[in-house]
Structure 1
Amino acid sequence: MSDLLKGRLALVTGASRGIGRATAVALAEAGAHVIALARTVGALEDLDDEIRAKGGTASLVPLDIKDGEGIDRLGYTLFERYGKLDILIGNAGALGSISPLGHLEPKDWDNVFAVNVTANWRLIRSFDPLLRKSDAGRAIFITSGAAWKSTAYWGLYATTKAALNSLVATYAAETVNSAVRANLFSPGPVRTHMRAAAMPGEDANTLPHPTTIAPSILLLASPELTETGQIYDMREGKFISFRSPE
């Protein structure tokens, strides 16, 4: 345990596995109380066990990220109980089909947009007032280099991440004169279930584990952070401009 984020309240979506789980554990180890949101109750309970074993604390929220009214209810509950939110980690994501654009099913298109874009807008809509109540509100959303590469067959996922980038950059512009800082985090290839689904022939052992990524996300959650409307590129180890990404 450390005191880096002692007394801070952090919400993590997609907290049951991968980058979300590793980030939730790292936040708790840094002293934050973690609100862990995911669909799977059993995986959330396993996360809670790990956090408690390391001396941290967490509250579990079994919720489908596409349930906008559920997000609103959670926002109201946090307001009633804590009156603020210090850290928001928008991590939950969906890959969708790796397919030519003309072959995508409308249902798949709508689902991936609902998870990767609309749900994050609902998070901003519900938690912006709580982040503004914090002395140093931090909103961090997980993006991908796919948003700029325009790789064949990756159109669905790439389009949603490009939309997410614009969404977060706009939110950053709207909060620039407040204590809120909103940024994107691009982890690069990481050993996750989503990566395995996208690259089934890839040797996962060649990829960094989510636990090696989480400490860099914590840097964006720090009350001392000054950057906003930027993308932190994990591979470069630095912020890059949203308007001119490398």
Structure 2
Amino acid sequence: MTTQNKRLDGRVAVVTGASRGIGRAVALRYAQEGAHVIACARTTGALEELDDAIAAVGGSATLAPFDITDFPAIDRLGEAIHGRWKKLDILVGNAGMLGTLTPMGHMKPDEWDDVLKVNLTANWRLLRSLDPLLRQSDAGRAIFVTSTVGHQPRAFWSAYAVSKAGLEMMARTYAQEMEKSTVRTNLINPGATRTTMRIEAMPGEDPKTVKSPESITEAFVELAEPTCTRNGDLIEL
């Protein structure tokens, strides 16, 4: 892939949950398309493996190992990005937590809080810290990963479904607030995808029967491009 056809050449992108699954696939694809990827995840070793993979395709990355629920760390991330680049072009809010699939009344309070914290509040904190940087981009793009259960109720998915419903409303509200700016915000529902979370949710399913994370990265590139005009949309894959 030559420089002239790298669709994200020179862009700076934050990807959360970048150590595995969809986040890793998106981070690697963005690097292949010329973006400098700020890869966020808890697992340092897995981030280092991603860094090696990015280097192998001629890309560049900055590793940011921290827990997405460490909200002061999110603020420090924003400060660090401002200090180095003065702007952020792309935010991919991908990190997620399934929680126990159980009747809502059986959900443990601490686990309910944790799922909401990871899937919803952390993404709001990312927007809170990175919004000024997205506005400094000539074409800021925010992309959040959601789920079918965020808009279609499903028994026993309780906290996860509620968190994704909240995420969708948050993203669409932000999209409306940004209508007169150069920032665009959209949601992607990847559908059945071969991830650790999918295996956790569907333990009897043959992983080979669902699509790979690598196969869905094109949608993330399209929404991240400066030429993208979509705003407040939910893309179902």
| Equivalent of 2:216 in 182, 195, 213 | 213
Match of 2:11 in 1: 8
TM-score, normalization by structure 1: 0.94
Partner Cα distance (2:57, 2:100) in 1: 38
Match of 2:106 in 1: 103
Match of 1:147 in 2: 150
Amino acid at match of 2:45: G
Amino acid at match of 2:137: S
SS of corresponding position for 1:149: coil
Pair 1:42-2:45 in alignment = yes
Match of 2:124 in 1: 121
Amino acid at match of 2:208: N
Describe how 1:40-189 pairs up with structure 2 within 5 A: 40-189=43-192
Partner Cα distance (1:225, 1:57) in 2: 23
- The number of equivalent residue pairs is 234
Structure 1: gaps (5+ residues): 235-246
Alpha-carbon shift at residue 149 of structure 1 (Å): 2.0
Pair 1:227-2:233 in alignment = no
Structure 2: gaps (5+ residues): none
TM-score, normalization by structure 2: 0.98
Partner Cα distance (1:148, 1:126) in 2: 27
Amino acid at match of 2:210: L
Partner Cα distance (1:59, 1:76) in 2: 14
Runs of 4+ in 1 over 6 A off after TM superposition: none
Query: RMSD over aligned Cα, in angstroms?
Result: 0.6
Partner Cα distance (1:227, 1:148) in 2: 20
Per-residue Cα deviation, 1:201-229 (whole angstroms, up to 9, x for no partner): 00100000000011211111010011101
Partner Cα distance (1:21, 1:121) in 2: 21
Partner Cα distance (1:97, 1:148) in 2: 19
Partner Cα distance (1:136, 1:106) in 2: 40
Partner Cα distance (1:148, 1:233) in 2: 12
